[in-house]
Amino acid sequence: MSEFWTTFGVDLYLEVDTATGRRSGLEHALRDAIRTGRLAPQARMPSTRKLAVELGLARGTVSAAYDQLIAEGYLTARRGSGTMVADFARPEPVPSTRPVPTASGSGPPPDAALPQGSPGGPAVPGQGRPDAAVPRYDLRPGSPDVGAFPSAAWLRSVRRALAATSAETYGYGDPRGRTELRAALAEYLGRTRGVLTTPEQIVVTSGYVQALALLTGVLGAAGVTEVAMEDPGLGFHREVVRRAGPAVVALPVDDHGVRADLLGGHRKAGAVVVTPAHQYPTGVTLHPARRHALTEWARVHDGLIVEDDYDGEFRYDRQPVGALQGMAPDHVAYVGSASKTLGPALRLGWMVLPHHLVGPVVDAKLHLDHHTEVIGQLALADLIATHGYDRHIRACRLRYRRRRDLLLARLGAVPGLAIHGVAAGLHAMISLPAGGPGEREVLGRASAYGLALGGLGDHWHHAGDHPQAIIVGYGTPREHVYPAALGALAHVLAQSGAAPRNG
């Protein structure tokens, strides 16, 4: 831990924790100074050269830290004006205590006594069904390489967790989730995703879908009649929201992410569901200006942003962009899961909730399934605490980056094709030439060849004249199959007239 006083215009105390790296420590220190208001909005930042000298750091380290905070929306940079602190409202130091009713009345507070001994990214269509045909090559999006599951590390964590636990572990659990996992997640999410939380604000779920259903059900019971969702986006998630009660309204996505400026036209919308880190299916990362617009809408209209941290851990051109939740923790419900990092079979997800939503969501969880499976929670808590989770994600990031690079090398120079969303995540969207072939033609040829792909057409809220594209998931295939799968893709595109016949 290093402590510095900087003197760029005013004295500023920065506590730079170099244990996680000089750049990471500086980013955290500056982010904390901005969040707490110690660096005021519109304050001019020193040049990278000057700050590097004052802190005894390399100029490149300071430049990288500035670039990261600009991408996250904490800083702004204009040619000729230097770097300044962004103008956005800081979270209030006192948590909100607004009551939000649920269908069964006011839910219990986070630490209320619970009854003892009482009973209880996207889905890939066709996967998991016993009647679904198994493709020869699977390049559908929505799944990691499950063959890379860290079995040995997981088994060690299970053994350690069970050796240290007591008999009560095997009884009915807390609907919020095990204390061990919530504490581990609070530390991990704060350290790696910039999430501001305490263990008391975290609710463990059986995945993203349950979290979305719980949240929108609570909002519907509280009087929210409409929820805005990205267009294009996953239709299955729209159906989850509709079944929970609220109607769904479309919010277009462009090259800068979701059109937050259009939220004002949906006056009945009390919440918006977004994927800032890596939008599905376009792959775009939400622009800093849009991040500010979303949080401003939430503050002005007392709305809720549901942040699906889709592919948040996997960024290849820079450090992963921090979570939107860190900018407005009382207006953002952050949702993550282990489905992409470890595997969907674990059925482990988590919500970081604004204080006023914890009680109602816990109450809804209690009456839905009482609690999430416990042994997996304990194992994941141990895996995170022993940093096995970090090591696994770093290894996966390198593996998926190699796959991304191979995809670009194979298809990037093909005339008429444009590949989007490759800076992060486990999928890419490939726009098809305007003159053909059509999306359905490519998907049909791929299916006949034993190749499974995703299509953009099914993701739009409404039918119409939309751009034609296919979606390629490079996380799904096993390592030894992936090159052949790319060869099959190149062949199908060639046969469809979208690529040279030599692939």
Pairwise CA distance, residues 52 & 29, whole Å: 14
Residue 89's pLDDT is: 60
- Give the CB-side neighbour count of residue 477, counting CA atoms within 13 A: 27
Radius of gyration of the CA atoms of the chain, in A: 23
Residues for the chain: how many in total?
Answer: 503
Spatial separation of the C-alpha atoms in residues 185 and 450, rounded to whole Å: 40
CATH architecture under which domain 2-85 falls: Orthogonal Bundle (1.10)
Q: Kindly state the tokens that stand for 431.
A: 């726009």
pTM for the structure as a whole: 0.81
Per-residue pLDDT tens listing for the chain (503 residues): 555 545 555 566 677 877 778 888 898 889 988 888 888 888 888 888 888 888 888 999 999 999 999 988 899 988 777 898 998 666 554 444 444 444 333 333 333 333 333 222 344 444 445 445 688 999 999 899 999 999 999 999 999 999 998 888 899 999 999 999 999 999 999 999 999 999 999 999 999 999 999 999 999 999 999 999 999 999 999 999 999 999 999 999 999 999 999 998 899 999 999 999 999 999 999 999 999 999 999 999 999 999 999 888 898 887 778 899 999 999 999 999 999 999 999 999 999 999 999 999 999 999 999 999 999 999 999 999 999 999 999 999 999 999 999 999 988 666 667 899 998 899 999 998 877 788 999 999 999 999 999 999 999 999 888 999 999 999 989 888 999 999 999 888 887 766 543 33
In terms of C-beta density within 10 A (0-12 exposed, 13-18 middle, 19 or more buried), how is residue 32 classed?
Answer: middle
> What's the start-to-end Cα distance of the chain, in Å?
53
State the DSSP code for 429. E
54 contacts 7 by C-beta, under 8 angstroms: yes
CA distance 288 to 281: 20
Q: What is the pLDDT of residue 501?
A: 36
Dump the DSSP string for 244-306.
HS-EEEEEEEETTEE-GGGGGG-TTEEEEEE--SS-TTT-PPPPHHHHHHHHHHHHHHT-EEE
CA distances from 441 to 415, 438, 454, 456, 492 (A): 18, 5, 13, 13, 10
HEC-encoded secondary structure of 60-71: HHHHHHHHHHHH
pLDDT of residue 115: 33
Q: Where are the beta strands (DSSP E) in 325-426?
A: 332-337, 349-352, 418-420
Q: What are the boundaries of each domain within the chain? A: 2-85, 390-495
Domain 390-495: state its class: alpha beta
